[in-house]
């Protein structure tokens, strides 16, 4: 015998202004199965919930319908109320009278009629609802951080400091990312390497962190609390257990190639550390350029190595491990302007460089020892022009997005030019100056007072005239066509998602946004989580950011991981898909449709005419299933049903609308 209680909420005047709540409550009394019905001003309030509990007891209710706001808002609230009254929380139905009725209608009479129909449907469905019970899955309290830039390092350190094990995977030979490449950081002019390299050392020495440099994540299976991950350790050709990092091999290597770390402005040997403070502080062999590995003739490094650490036979290795949470910290790359901006010379003018090249140049440990020079002739430039938004805010050639850090680093570069080169001039071409961080506007003002000339307008063309570069633009503030003869041009190129980040997202099991940045679960309220449970975001992989924001987000992601790890086990949502194996034909249509990779085909044994036969059926992993229902509609034999939204429940709703 079903005994249904119906509770109609006024939501102040949100519902009551357009729906006659008393009339709805009155009408509900006549629905089959309803033994109690009432209306109340705020059902979600403490006294409102007390009324529900009291009614459950007095009227011996075994089904409850609350007609109020959206279930996204208060379904968990009322489920708890039922549980508090000793009922299974899934013997409950919520009718949305606000978003789907009162807020979208103005005719009170008709809205009330619709409200009665909506409640009618819920009353019908709730009588078919069954008790549901959550599953519990264990949590593997070990985190995987992908990417060893400042965000990845910070997240790894924070999680490790909380006492949990962390594996940090970095695809480059050293951790650190872009930050140690920079000279000084705005607005405080801290030496970038001085504040980032100690963090690199901390990561390497932390007892809870396992550092896997020169490695890449290849495969991720499983779900929150239990990710099975395969990591490829790329061949380094140096046995790190023997190598002492003495550096002798690097000095003797005969094959020099352009140094990626200095963006091609210097050279490095083929057995190398990217830079002096690299962590791990041991070299790798660049297999593409090493003479021994390419044509078998050389082997100098093996000969000079005092510990016999060089191993030309080294091969890639696949490591498997299980993690409870994954932090994505894959960072950014710079927009390849050379392929897009013909008006700036497609990269054929040697004295048109990027901001990051400028950073390497002005850095005391960079290829020029901190001297700002023209790459073409090595002379000191007297007039330096800066162009902002190269690839940013340019939907045609680059990205529609603002890269957020360029306004500030350009202000810093202009300041450095005026500071380091006497009698120099700096021109900054901009569209807007965006100084959103703490102390940033003040920094920009200082640069203005250094007499950097800011010209509001995009440069339309750069061409060479003798040794000079001619820039043409309009100063839109004075409406004048202007021209600057510069010795050096620095482009503030856009931040774009790092190479391979889209593929990696697919491997881990979530989707990037339209621009390729990693999509957060909610732009305001869940900014460090992905829609995939247990996968979190840190730093610029989520969108362009500066260092303080990256570090802050990394801390937030780490806090989310710690929150997850503070539980012994995880309660799953019982409203997941369930396969009726007796009628599943094993066609497998459902599996590729599942956006959460929750369906697999498994073998089952059956007795048919006295014989055991084996056949395939679909199986839903409750930890992964998010209850979206995509599989249920695709299933031809109708073998998959979504718990809480089962076919008979839905049909009962539809029937009630016409039959009652």
Partner 1 sequence: MKEVELAIAAKQNRAEIHAIEKKSGVELTDCYQCGKCSAGCPVAFAMDKTPRQIIRLLQLGLLEEALASRTIWLCATCQTCVARCPKEVDLPSLMEVVRQTAKKRGFVAEKDINLFNDIFLQNVKTFGKSPEVILSALYNLRSGHLFQDVDSVPHLFLSGKAHVLPEKVKNVDAIKKIFAKCTEGGEHS
- Footprint on this chain of partner 1 (rule: CB under 8 A): 383, 425, 427, 445, 448-449, 451, 453, 455-456, 472, 475, 477-478, 480-486
Q: Which is nearer to partner 1, 34 or 484 (CB)?
A: 484
Q: Which is nearer to partner 1, 99 or 475 (CB)?
A: 475
* Nearest approach, Cβ of residue 490 and partner 1 (Å): 16
* Nearest approach, Cβ of residue 187 and partner 1 (Å): 17
Q: Which is nearer to partner 1, 477 or 499 (CB)?
A: 477
Q: Which is nearer to partner 1, 319 or 482 (CB)?
A: 482
* Nearest approach, Cβ of residue 483 and partner 1 (Å): 5
Q: Which DSSP string do the residues of 289-353 spell out, in sequence order?
A: T-HHHHHS---HHHHH-TT--B-TT---EEEEEEESEEEE---EEE--GGGT-GGGTTT-STTEE
Q: Which is nearer to partner 1, 195 or 482 (CB)?
A: 482
Sequence-separated contacts (24+) of 508-513 with Cβ below 8 Å: 508/146, 508/217, 508/220, 508/326, 508/328, 508/532, 508/535, 509/220, 509/535, 509/596, 509/597, 510/535
* Nearest approach, Cβ of residue 476 and partner 1 (Å): 10
Using CA atoms, how far apart are residues 546 and 414, in angstroms rounded to an integer?
18
Q: What residues have CB less than 8 Å from 427, skipping those under 6 apart?
A: 383, 384, 385, 386, 452, 453, 454, 455, 471, 484, 486
Using CA atoms, how far apart are residues 266 and 373, in angstroms rounded to an integer?
13
* Nearest approach, Cβ of residue 470 and partner 1 (Å): 9
The token pair that represents 426 in the structure block:
């700096």
Whether 301 and 273 have beta carbons less than 8 Å apart is answered as no
Taking Cα atoms as reference points, which of 44, 222, 130 lies closest to residue 574? Answer: 130
* Nearest approach, Cβ of residue 458 and partner 1 (Å): 15
Q: Which is nearer to partner 1, 397 or 472 (CB)?
A: 472
Strands 599-608 and 611-620: antiparallel
Q: Which is nearer to partner 1, 477 or 654 (CB)?
A: 477
Q: Which is nearer to partner 1, 451 or 522 (CB)?
A: 451
3-class DSSP state of 573: coil
Q: What residues have CB less than 8 Å from 62, skipping those under 6 apart?
A: 2, 3, 87, 91
Phi-psi region of 586 (alpha: psi -120 to 50; beta: other; left: phi over 0): left
Using CA atoms, how far apart are residues 270 and 312, in angstroms rounded to an integer?
13
Q: Which is nearer to partner 1, 303 or 480 (CB)?
A: 480
Using CA atoms, how far apart are residues 283 and 275, in angstroms rounded to an integer?
10
Q: Which is nearer to partner 1, 262 or 487 (CB)?
A: 487
Using CA atoms, how far apart are residues 227 and 219, in angstroms rounded to an integer?
10
* Nearest approach, Cβ of residue 451 and partner 1 (Å): 7
Q: Which is nearer to partner 1, 471 or 656 (CB)?
A: 471
Q: Which DSSP string do the residues of 157-220 spell out, in sequence order?
A: HHHHHTT-EEEEE-SSSSS-TTGGG-SEETTTTEEHHHHHHHHHHHHHH-TTEEEE-SEEEEEE
The token pair that represents 563 in the structure block:
């929150």
* Nearest approach, Cβ of residue 396 and partner 1 (Å): 25
Other C-beta atoms closer than 10 Å to the C-beta of 460 total: 13
3-class DSSP state of 127: coil
* Nearest approach, Cβ of residue 482 and partner 1 (Å): 5
* Nearest approach, Cβ of residue 474 and partner 1 (Å): 9
Whether 494 and 399 have beta carbons less than 8 Å apart is answered as yes
Q: What residues have CB less than 8 Å from 126, skipping those under 6 apart?
A: 4, 63, 64, 65, 91, 92, 93
* Nearest approach, Cβ of residue 544 and partner 1 (Å): 24
Q: Which is nearer to partner 1, 317 or 379 (CB)?
A: 379
* Nearest approach, Cβ of residue 415 and partner 1 (Å): 13
H or E segment and range at residue 485: strand 480-486
Q: Which is nearer to partner 1, 248 or 453 (CB)?
A: 453
* Nearest approach, Cβ of residue 446 and partner 1 (Å): 10
Q: What is the dihedral of CA 142, 144, 148, 150, to 10 degrees?
A: -70
φ, ψ of residue 20 to 5 degrees: the values are -80, 90
């Amino acid at each position: 015998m079903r005994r249904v209680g119906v509770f109609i909420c006024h939501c102040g005047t949100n519902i009551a202004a357009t729906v006659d709540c008393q009339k709805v409550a009155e009408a509900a009394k006549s629905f089959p199965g309803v033994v109690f019905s009432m209306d109340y001003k705020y059902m979600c309030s403490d006294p409102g919930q007390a009324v529900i509990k009291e009614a459950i007891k007095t009227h011996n209710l075994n089904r409850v319908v609350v007609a109020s706001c959206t279930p996204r808002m208060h379904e968990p609230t009322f489920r708890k109320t039922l549980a508090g009254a000793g009922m299974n929380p899934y013997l409950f139905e919520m009718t949305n009278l606000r978003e789907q009725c009162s807020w979208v209608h103005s005719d009170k009479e008709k809205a009330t009629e619709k409200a009665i129909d909506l409640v009618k449907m819920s009353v019908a469905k709730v009588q078919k609802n069954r008790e549901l019970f959550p599953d519990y899955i264990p949590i593997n309290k070990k985190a995987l951080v992908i990417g060893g830039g400042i965000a990845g390092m910070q997240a790894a350190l924070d999680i490790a400091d909380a006492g949990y094990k962390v594996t940090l995977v970095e695809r480059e030979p050293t951790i650190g990312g872009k930050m140690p490449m920079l000279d000084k950081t705005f607005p405080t002019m801290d030496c970038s390497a001085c504040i980032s390299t100690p963090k690199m050392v901390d990561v390497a020495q932390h007892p809870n962190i396992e550092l896997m440099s020169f490695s890449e994540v290849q495969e991720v299976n499983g779900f929150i609390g239990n990710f099975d991950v395969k990591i490829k350790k790329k061949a380094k050709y140096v046995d790190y257990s023997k190598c002492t990092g003495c550096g002798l091999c690097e000095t003797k290597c005969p094959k020099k190639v352009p140094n990626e770390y200095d963006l091609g402005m210097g050279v490095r040997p083929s057995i190398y550390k990217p830079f002096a403070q690299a962590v791990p502080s041991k070299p790798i062999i660049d297999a593409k350029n090493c003479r021994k590995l390419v044509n078998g003739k050389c082997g100098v490094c093996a000969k000079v190595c005092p510990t016999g650490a060089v191993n030309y036979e080294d091969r890639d290795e696949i490591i498997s491990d299980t993690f409870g949470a994954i932090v994505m910290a894959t960072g950014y790359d710079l927009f390849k302007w050379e392929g897009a901006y013909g008006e700036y010379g497609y990269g054929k003018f040697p004295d048109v460089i990027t901001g990051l090249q400028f950073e390497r140049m002005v850095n005391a440990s960079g290829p020029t020892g901190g001297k700002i020079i023209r790459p073409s002739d090595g002379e000191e430039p007297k007039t330096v022009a800066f162009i902002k938004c190269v690839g940013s805010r340019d939907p045609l050639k680059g990205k529609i997005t603002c890269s957020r850090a360029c306004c500030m680093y350009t202000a810093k570069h202009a300041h450095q030019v005026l500071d380091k080169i006497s009698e120099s001039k700096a021109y900054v071409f901009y569209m807007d100056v965006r100084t959103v961080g703490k102390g940033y506007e003040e920094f920009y003002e200082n640069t203005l007072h250094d007499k950097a000339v800011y010209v509001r307008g995009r440069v339309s063309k750069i061409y060479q005239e003798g040794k000079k570069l001619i820039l043409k633009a309009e100063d839109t503030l004075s409406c004048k066509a202007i021209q600057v003869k510069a010795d050096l041009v620095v482009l503030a190129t856009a931040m774009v998602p790092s190479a391979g980040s889209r593929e990696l997202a697919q491997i881990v099991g979530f989707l990037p946004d339209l621009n390729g940045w990693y999509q957060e679960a909610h732009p305001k309220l869940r900014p460090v989580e992905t829609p995939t449970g247990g996968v979190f975001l840190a730093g610029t992989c989520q969108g362009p950011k500066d260092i303080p924001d990256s570090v802050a987000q990394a801390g937030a992601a780490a806090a989310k991981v710690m929150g997850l790890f503070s539980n012994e086990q995880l309660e799953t949502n019982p409203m997941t898909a369930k396969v009726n194996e007796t009628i599943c034909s094993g066609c497998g249509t459902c599996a590729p449709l599942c956006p959460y990779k929750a369906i697999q085909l498994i073998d089952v044994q059956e007795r048919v005419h006295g014989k055991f036969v084996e056949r395939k059926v679909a199986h839903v992993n409750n930890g992964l299933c998010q209850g979206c229902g995509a599989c249920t509609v695709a299933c031809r034999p109708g073998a998959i049903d979504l718990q809480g939204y089962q076919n008979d429940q839905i049909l009962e709703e539809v029937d009630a609308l016409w039959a009652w």
